[in-house]
Amino acid sequence: MTKPVLLPEPVSSTWEWQLDGLCRGMDSAVFFHPEGERGNKRSDRETQAKRVCAQCPVLQRCRDYAVAAGEPYGVWGGLSAPERLGWDTRATG
């Protein structure tokens, strides 16, 4: 008897959590800094993004994804790229 072929998991089930994100449909400029943005302007934008994330029902899934994937840019799961460095998803999830 032959073994059944295991198909890869459907992509939609891997990413469907993003459909519930509060950031969905928002201007991505809130979460990703423009070239050369520094100082108070960058800090204010990140604070705005983190406020959205703090209320988001998929915050932890988003954070876990960004850390595991090594997302190099933007605010994901309430963390900026520098904040994600060294973050251990096993400690939170």
User: Annotated binding site for [4Fe-4S] cluster: which residue ranges?
Assistant: 23, 53, 56, 62
Residue ranges of the binding site: 23, 53, 56, 62
Helix (H, G, I), strand (E, B) or coil at 79: strand
Give the Cα separation of 73 and 53 in Å (integer).
Answer: 15
- Reading the block at residue 2, the tokens are 């032959």
76: which strand partners?
79
